Amino acid sequence: SLDTTLKNTIIRELRDSFDFYQASNYDHFLSVIFPVFKDLLTKQQPAFVENAAEQKLRSTILEILHRFPMNEHLKPYVDDIIVICLKLIRSENEDNAVLCLKILVELHRAYKGVLEEHIQAFFTLVQEMYRNVGKILRDSFEAGETPGGPVTPFSNPFASPRPMSPSSMDTPDASNRPLARSLWSFKVLAECPMIVVMLCQSKKFPVEQAAEFIPLVVDTLKLRIRQQQESADLAAKQHRVFVGMCPQVKNKALYHEFINAQAKTFSFLAYLQRALPAKLRIYQDSLPEIVIHLLQDCPADATSVRKELLMGLRHILATDLRTAFVPEIETLLNERILVGDGVTSRETLRPLAFSTLADLVHHVRTDLSPQQLSMAVGVYAVHLHDATLASGIQSMCAKLLLNLIDCADRIPDKQVGRRLLIQILSTFTRKLQSLVAQFPRVRDQYRLKMKQLPQTPSPSSNDRDPITFTSGTVYEQYLPIALSTLEAQGDIIKDTRFLIKSLVSGIKNAVFNLKHCNPPPPPSETNLQEYNAVARGFPPEEVAIFQNLFRAGINCFDYYGIPQAAEELNASEGAASPINPTIPPDGPTLAAHHREFTAKYGAVTKEEKELLEHFASVFIYIDPAIFQEVFKTQMPHLFARTLIHISLLTVPQFFLASDAVSQSFASIALEFLMDALDELGGTDLLKTSVMVQLFKLVFMAVTLFPNANEIVLKPHVAKIITSCLKLSGKAYNPADFFHLLRALFRSIGGGRFETLYKEVLPLLRMLLENLNALLNTTHERHMRDLFVEICLTVPVRLSVLLPYLALLMRPLVLALEPGSELVGQGLRTLELCIDNLTQEFLDPIMAPVINDIMWALWKHLQPDPYDQSLSHTTVRILGKLGGRNRRMFKSFPQLNYLNPAQKVLHMNIYFHGIDHPHPLPLDECLAMATRVLENPAVDFFYKEKALALVTGQLALLVDTQGFTAHYLQRLRQWFRKVAAAHISAAFELRRHTPAAPDDVLATVIHAVFRAASVPGLRDRAIALIEQVVRYFAVWHTTQFCAQLSESDYSASVPGPSPPVASQSAPVLVESLVRAFASESPEMNQLGEQALHLFYRTLPTSPLADSHHAALVAQLPIFHDLAVRFTGCCYLEDRSQKLGGCRGIRLLSMQLQLGRSWLLEHVVDFVKGLLYILKDSTITEFYSRAAHIDFTTDTLYSILWQCWHKRPAPDLLQIKFNSIVDLLIIELSNSNANVRRTAQGSFELLSVETGISITDILTPLREKLL
């Protein structure tokens, strides 16, 4: 009896305080309020005006019912609520009916099975709605209103209406929009299919009863507004495509509701197809037309509706009904029909649409016509190049095109199929090129990710920084619209690699199928099988495709190097790039570098290797002439990319191991490598290693396919040998050329290549003589073994080698030495000579070295654990000699005699029952400890014990603990007193020739230096070296002061004991010189550090006063060092020459010994350095460019320090004239390096002294003539 307005006020207050009643006493609340709600909803008539008071009241009540908690308290009222909702759905307006449907859904979810008794009633209700759809269309879009009442636009037609909020209900200007009846509303109908599907999944409901919906659903989907049909027909007549809502449709809101209802119904149809496939098969012919007109009629801004259609279409196309869509493939391939014209649809629905259509094309590809195949290839080729699509969609496009290749091959018209295959091949090639173009951006993004840098926020329009174009990622931050789909959580590297894999597979398949589409063979062709084995008939523009394909393909493998490059990013900053390393003149050998190179760069993952082989296999299916044309132009690019990504060596390896293209590629590779042979042996070790590896691969191809590749290698054999011997004298790393020779000889040995042996024969004498000269001058074990192996593996027959057999004796002796890796090769060579040559011929040749051979053989006669195969072979050789070895002996073995009186170190041992001690010499122990420390193969445990022994012996020889602070203070005072009175006497003291150093102490110190090169002993050994150097510095200064004052200071001031050696300075000099002249770079560095420490220790002990600092240069030890370093320059060993040059450089440039000291030795220094340069003509192998530059730079620095900005005064004229006399003779030297150094020296002297070169040379013009 209350007024409706008052009821609304009460209901709104109840809704706003509903949570309070629910929490306090929910049971009592339901018992009181539900009967009232039931009475209001069933006894009052519904209203069909949105702003009517009755409508607000009923809508609020339904909203409260929807908000009821679905728990046990509500369960007694569930049946009544269901009955009320079903009744209201028939009589209410569309907004309230939608709320009733939502209440039913929530009840079904909360209380399973409560709707099962009402399923049939609900289905009847929904079927009645479907039957009303046709009449609704006619009345709404032709008469302008629905049978249930007028229809006005609704602002949000895509979602079910939400209940009105209190604020909207109180607004005075609220809409008075009429509301349609529920049974005549598209909005209500759109909610029903989902509920029907949910009820059909009930266990007690047979799904077959849903078959009654199929005719109604199909008829509803076939419905189309008259205006839309007319617009579509008109566009078809004009050969256009009609998409979207035509302008003639006035009621746009109602049209959106109708399309949304059809989309929901189409999804319902997709469910029915899965549940009842047989019932729906009779409608399969009409389904394509339904789908197409639904996609055409979908408005441009109805993105959610189109997505609903595409999802339903995806489910239908997953069934056998997809065959019905084959005639409409071309229509569906139209992007406007499939995606629409809306911007949002294009940006969000294209992946779904393209993948749905790709599934259809993939499954029906065998039924497609050539025209449909061509259109599908064109459409998905465009999508493949669309950078705004995710990489997953691009991979899907690539896979689809890959699947269409076989279909193109089966086209009866081979020309049409060939055009399609070329189109696919060109598409994949351009995609690889685009991936190469975007690689820098991807790399930068990955490096930023590895560095864990924070993402730069998008700047506002008011505070943007200046745009930087150096990085793609920085530039893209300032773009107003994103140009590509961003995958925040995706791994772009992994996705790109997967895409590359798909592209390579497609390319390989396309090229393989091209050979089935070859043009007709010429009449002269008789072997049709061979003709059709490869793809032929490519015009120039198609040849360019293969060239671009190869370039882009190998560039794309940079994606496999991104993680490694990112890990090395921090380490490479501020240092030499690991991709292009350089080495100093005395850096690691090539053999060591090869091991490091393989460990660091040579590791190729299985996935990458397989992909590289797939990519390389593409080119073995093309015409050999095209193969030649492609790789003659692309070989430099392949080599350049291999230096960046070392795994690309798999490509030439695959070609050379393939019978089809091995000969062609070997010829191309050899021509390229021979042109670049002078670049071998440079400072770029990576480039050198790649070149050597390519040579080895070519040589391997000769071994695999001798008949095809022997003639390819033949023109280059002689040039390789002569060039290696010639260019090794100019290279920074000459060993590279000999590694190349060894690889060549290893590959073509074995007696199978007679043609190649004939090329080696004219060079045999020259080759063996040069190798023997190298053996006589080298002392490096690894280089000696290299030369020996080359000599023993010279690829010629033994009969040809007989005149030069004497040149193999010296290498044979070195190969037989124990510890060499060539013992087996040496034994085989010796046994071969004994088996095939007569005694009368072989014995005179072996006579000069028979002693060395026999000693080497006897050393292999050892029991286990020695290699017994070597021992057995040695016994067999001795047996074949039959006693001839004894008859050829010229001298007998010399036995070592040990004189106990000559031993310095010994240890007294007492035996039981004997009173006097027995001295045990320690010299042999010291020698063994030194050998243990020098041998890298010895276990660390024994090296540690050897250092302990050396440390104990050093304590017996040198007292490094006797320097007290009192002793140093008194010594400093005494030196000041003596130096002031006898400062001039030092000039004579340094000229005394020192006695020979004590061998034992020098050996101990050398052993300590060796221990410092062992990683685990380095710290302890360096500490010992520091103590020894400091001891000699102080002791040498003490002896120097004592000679000046003619008194023994050490007798009056307690201090350290003198060393066991009578001359301390020669012992230290000998140790330093041995360190400088060592072959080990670590020993060289330790020697330099020790000499620097000696120099720093002098002024910090008695010479701390700067007034007497000039006396440091007058100490005799520096004169001794200068003499020894100069003498090293005249020795044969290269390491000793370089050690002398290195010592001269340190004395003259790094130690501040003064100009006067340097002038005293400048003539000797220049003579020694010039001899190093001149001696390089003895063997070109040692004239390493780095060593020549090092020596020349040292000479220039000495001259510069002596005459820097000082004209030659009278006091210096003698030295100046002596230098000029030395240099003027070298102007005519046959060695170009010496001539250039002399010329540069005269230029330097002219600049520094201000005297022209003409004036310098004029007094000596007679010598020039």
From residue 144, how far is each of 150, 188, 250, 550 by CA, in Å?
8, 19, 9, 66
Answer with the residue of higher pLDDT: 409 or 892.
409
Q: Is the dihedral of CA 279, 283, 288, 293 positive or negative?
A: negative
Q: What distance in Å separates the CA atoms of residue 416 and residue 406, rounded to the nearest whole number?
A: 13
Q: Which of 828-842, 902-916, 986-1000 has the highest mean pLDDT?
A: 828-842
Q: What distance in Å separates the CA atoms of residue 752 and residue 710, rounded to the nearest whole number?
A: 10
Residue 920 bridge partners (DSSP): 907
**Main-chain phi, psi angles of 1136, to 5 degrees:** -70, -35
Burial class (CB in 10 A: 0-12, 13-18, 19+), 208: exposed
Res 7 pLDDT > 90: no
DSSP helix/strand/coil, 170: helix
Q: What distance in Å separates the CA atoms of residue 275 and residue 155, rounded to the nearest whole number?
A: 36
Residue 921 bridge partners (DSSP): 906
The pLDDT-based confidence of 157 (bands split at 50, 70, 90) is very low
pLDDT in tens, 775-819: 887 777 788 889 999 999 998 888 888 888 899 999 999 888 877
Q: What distance in Å separates the CA atoms of residue 709 and residue 656, rounded to the nearest whole number?
A: 10
Closest CA to 258 of 100, 139, 160, 137: 137
Q: Which of 822-831, 999-1008, 1050-1059 has the highest mean pLDDT?
A: 822-831
pLDDT in tens, 220-251: 999 888 888 888 888 888 888 888 888 888 88
And the tokens for 1155?
Answer: 């100009």
DSSP helix/strand/coil, 292: helix
| Dihedral Cα 173, 178, 183, 188, nearest 10 deg | -30
Specify the DSSP class assigned to residue 1180: G
Q: How many CA atoms lie within 13 A of 417 on its CB side?
A: 21
3-state helix, strand, coil in the chain (%, to 5): 70, 0, 25
What integer pLDDT is reported at residue 521 of this predicted model? 82
Longest CA span, the chain: 145
Length of the chain: 1265
535 and 623 in contact (C-beta within 8 Å)?
A: yes
Q: How many CB atoms lie within 10 A of CB 1095?
A: 20
What integer pLDDT is reported at residue 944 of this predicted model? 86
Q: What one-character-per-residue DSSP string does 739-773 give?
A: HHHHHHHHHH-SS--HHHHHHHGGGHHHHHHHHHH
What integer pLDDT is reported at residue 1185 of this predicted model? 62
User: Alpha carbon 677 to chain centroid distance?
Assistant: 27
Res 377 pLDDT > 90: yes
**Amino acid identity at 1124:** R
Q: What is the mean pLDDT of residues 167-171?
A: 38
- 93-97, 121-125, 264-268, 961-965 — which is least confidently predicted? 961-965
End-to-end Cα, the chain, rounded Å: 143
294 and 338 in contact (C-beta within 8 Å)?
A: no
Q: Which of 354-363, 436-445, 584-593, 837-846 has the highest mean pLDDT?
A: 354-363
**Main-chain phi, psi angles of 990, to 5 degrees:** -75, -10
Q: Which CATH class is domain 368-455+490-519+530-573?
A: mainly alpha
pLDDT in tens, 31-48: 888 888 888 888 888 888
| Dihedral Cα 651, 653, 656, 659, nearest 10 deg | -80
The pLDDT-based confidence of 529 (bands split at 50, 70, 90) is confident
Cβ neighbors of 287 (< 8 A, separation 6 or more) are 316, 321, 324, 325
Q: Is the dihedral of CA 227, 231, 236, 240 positive or negative?
A: negative
Res 495 pLDDT > 50: yes
Q: What distance in Å separates the CA atoms of residue 1009 and residue 1022, rounded to the nearest whole number?
A: 8
Q: What distance in Å separates the CA atoms of residue 1161 and residue 1151, rounded to the nearest whole number?
A: 14
pLDDT in tens, 453-494: 444 444 333 443 333 333 333 334 433 344 444 344 457 888
Res 970 pLDDT > 90: no
Q: How many CA atoms lie within 13 A of 669 on its CB side?
A: 31
Closest CA to 1021 of 1036, 1004, 1033: 1004
- 562-566, 939-943, 1070-1074 — which is least confidently predicted? 562-566
Q: What percentage of the chain carries pLDDT values higher than 90?
A: 19
Res 1016 pLDDT > 90: no
205 and 112 in contact (C-beta within 8 Å)?
A: no
Q: Which of 418-427, 726-735, 1173-1182 has the highest mean pLDDT?
A: 418-427
Q: What distance in Å separates the CA atoms of residue 933 and residue 1005, rounded to the nearest whole number?
A: 12
Q: Given the structure tokens 């000596």, which residue do they identify? A: 1260
Q: What is the mean pLDDT of residues 865-870?
A: 84
What integer pLDDT is reported at residue 1051 of this predicted model? 42
Q: What angle do CA 13, 14, 16 make, to 5 degrees?
A: 65
Q: What is the mean pLDDT of residues 764-782?
A: 85
Q: Given the structure tokens 């699947």, which residue do they identify? A: 403
273 and 197 in contact (C-beta within 8 Å)?
A: no
Res 714 pLDDT > 80: yes
1124 and 1069 in contact (C-beta within 8 Å)?
A: yes
Closest CA to 117 of 65, 82, 89, 68: 82
Q: Is the dihedral of CA 716, 717, 721, 724 positive or negative?
A: positive
DSSP helix/strand/coil, 339: helix
pLDDT in tens, 298-357: 998 899 999 999 999 999 998 888 899 999 999 999 988 999 888 888 888 999 999 999
pLDDT in tens, 1159-1208: 888 888 888 888 888 875 444 444 456 678 888 888 888 888 887 766 55
Answer with the residue of higher pLDDT: 1210 or 210.
210
Q: What angle do CA 565, 571, 576 make, to 5 degrees?
A: 90
What integer pLDDT is reported at residue 1037 of this predicted model? 73
pLDDT in tens, 583-630: 333 333 334 444 444 444 446 788 889 999 999 999 999 999 999 999
919 and 907 in contact (C-beta within 8 Å)?
A: yes
DSSP helix/strand/coil, 906: strand
Closest CA to 1167 of 1079, 1237, 1261, 1091: 1237
Q: What distance in Å separates the CA atoms of residue 91 and residue 88, rounded to the nearest whole number?
A: 5
Residue 149 bridge partners (DSSP): 146
Res 890 pLDDT > 70: no
pLDDT in tens, 192-208: 988 888 888 766 666 67
Answer with the residue of higher pLDDT: 177 or 834.
834
What integer pLDDT is reported at residue 968 of this predicted model? 59
**Amino acid identity at 1148:** S
What integer pLDDT is reported at residue 1065 of this predicted model? 59
Q: How many CB atoms lie within 10 A of CB 437?
A: 12
And the tokens for 27?
Answer: 């049971």
Q: What distance in Å separates the CA atoms of residue 482 and residue 478, rounded to the nearest whole number?
A: 9
Please provide the average confidence, as pLDDT, over all residues in the chain.
Answer: 79
Res 420 pLDDT > 90: yes
Ramachandran region, residue 750 (left: φ > 0; alpha: ψ -120 to 50; beta: rest): left
Closest CA to 99 of 56, 66, 58: 66
Q: What percentage of the chain carries pLDDT values higher than 70?
A: 80
Q: What distance in Å separates the CA atoms of residue 388 and residue 527, rounded to the nearest whole number?
A: 50
294 and 258 in contact (C-beta within 8 Å)?
A: no
Q: What is the mean pLDDT of residues 1002-1018?
A: 83
And the tokens for 1173?
Answer: 């340069």
And the tokens for 1032?
Answer: 């000699």
- 983-987, 1064-1068, 1147-1151 — which is least confidently predicted? 983-987
Q: Is the dihedral of CA 3, 8, 9, 10 positive or negative?
A: positive
Closest CA to 636 of 577, 536, 707, 554: 554
Residue 956: in which H helix or E strand, if any?
helix 940-957
Q: What distance in Å separates the CA atoms of residue 277 and residue 573, rounded to the nearest whole number?
A: 66
12 and 63 in contact (C-beta within 8 Å)?
A: no
Q: How many helices (H) and strands (E) does the chain have?
A: 63, 2
